[in-house]
Amino acid sequence: MFTDVHEAIAYIESKRSKRSIDAFRDTLNKCHILMKQKNMIHIAGTNGKGSTVNYLRSILNAHGYKVGTFTSPYLICHNDRIRVDDIPISDEDLLKYVNQYYAIIEEDGLSMFEIDVLIMLAYFQSLDLDYRIIETGIGGMNDKTNVIDPIVSAITNIGLDHQKQLGDIYDIINEKMGIIKPHQMFITSETKGTILARFQEQCDAMGAVMYVVPEYQVSRYPFHFRYRDMAFTLENQGIYQVTNARLALTIASKLIKLDPIVTQPAIEHASWKGRYETLDYQGVKVDIDGAHNMPGIKALLQTLRVKKEEDVAIVFSCLNDRDVDEMLEAMLKAGYHVYITTFQDERAIDLSSIAPRPHLTIVNSFIEAMQTAYIKKQHIVVTGSLHFISRVRKYLIDLQTQDTKNQ
């Protein structure tokens, strides 16, 4: 049993195992944890899941509803994954649930993600929530969040990611659409016709009703867009957030009557840390963005282009299961100098595997990469992995805190 939350979190994060979703469902049943709870919403997709969750939460909060959310990975601390009205689960509650279910965690050999889902469901079950918005981890059909019984399922988009776990694009489509449930609503902002046709086939087979969010083109910054009779302007955010916001608005419109007076600020003032988030580094602007696959990198480069950002250096690192060469080539072809580095994580990229090329600098530590980019450029973009930008973000905020103390 744990008395310190940091020890409990270290224990959770040490758990690595592979079990079937049926085995996990059996564990939840043994714990008497409900998988069907009031107004569950399930969100999957290659990119944009967390942002869509956050926009939807913001809309529902603005209309007076109490909302639980589950997202991953965390950016600041482990508690961030499980929130109510954007407030992370307390250390006390997290510690309570780890201790309460410690015996079954050990007996059944739960993984870190399974522990997180178990605690989330137990925590939400104990609260009087109006809505529960739950993001998948990886995939959909076999993701451990897919034990839930939602009233709405949504997929942001489909792209190549996690191929080692999920397979090729056809396997990924089948895996993601495994969250579609019989006789329920399914909503997507995917635009590719072949994928939409496959979604429709699945919905028809399951008696589900499918809604598609129409594509909306924006080409100038700030990003203006409309939804029904409402107009919105997104500033200091990535261009990709227009699609995520419109998906969240569509889901919300199926659940509640939208009040334009509160909906507009709910969208425009919503922020999601690590998604084109601007920080300061000794007077130089730093944008950190969680792009971690080719679709994400393309969306980031589109944002930089439309915003007409100049004098930019990119500090990049990623996990070792990524197609690093393809992402590097895209950034270099766009005309940016890239500083590729690594960070403390057992899954981080091995720099010895990177071939030298023009306008690419290999740097052994991200702190050194930041210092070098600072000398060369007036604007630094940090990207490549949510795990990586989490480390850089903490470093930058710690620097700012230290500077404030020294003033």
Per residue in 298-324, pLDDT (tens digit) is: 999 999 999 999 999 999 999 998 889
Average pLDDT over residues 214-220: 93
Residue 163 has pLDDT above 50, yes or no: no
Same domain, 156 and 287: no
Average pLDDT over residues 187-205: 96
Q: Average pLDDT of the chain? A: 95
Q: Any idea what the Cα angle at residue 83 is, between residues 78 and 85, rounded to 5°?
A: 150
The total of other beta-carbon atoms located within 10 Å of residue 369's CB is 27
281: β partners:
284
Same domain, 142 and 245: yes
Same domain, 325 and 389: yes
pLDDT tens string 379-398: 999 999 999 999 999 999 99
Residue 407, exposed/middle/buried by CB under 10 A (0-12, 13-18, 19+)? exposed
User: What pLDDT was estimated at residue 403?
Assistant: 73
CATH of the domain at 167: 3.40.1190.10
Give me the number of domains the chain comprises.
2
Domain boundary at 248, 268, 288, which? 268
Domain boundary at 268, 285, 308, which? 268
Same domain, 192 and 295: no
Same domain, 226 and 320: no
What's the token pair of residue 279?
């920080």
Whether residue 47 contacts residue 243, with contact meaning beta carbons closer than 8 Å, is answered with no
Whether residue 59 contacts residue 249, with contact meaning beta carbons closer than 8 Å, is answered with yes
Same domain, 252 and 332: no
pLDDT tens string 42-57: 999 999 999 999 999 9
CATH of the domain at 385: 3.90.190.20
3 state DSSP class of 223: strand
pLDDT > 70 fraction of the chain, expressed in percent and rounded: 98
pLDDT tens string 69-115: 999 999 999 999 999 999 999 999 999 999 999 999 999 999 999 99
Which range marks the domain in which residue 311 is found? 277-406
**371: CB partners within 8 A, 6+ apart:** none
Dihedral through CA 22, CA 27, CA 31, CA 37, nearest 10? -30
Same domain, 108 and 68: yes
Same domain, 248 and 305: no
Same domain, 301 and 211: no
- What CA–CA distance (Å, rounded) separates 334 from 126? 50
Helix %, strand %, coil % of the chain (to 5): 45, 15, 40
Same domain, 50 and 126: yes
Domain boundary at 245, 268, 291, which? 268
Same domain, 20 and 60: yes
Same domain, 19 and 109: yes
Task: State pTM to two decimals.
Answer: 0.95
Dihedral through CA 187, CA 191, CA 192, CA 195, nearest 10? -10
Confidence grade of residue 168 (pLDDT, cut at 50, 70, 90): low
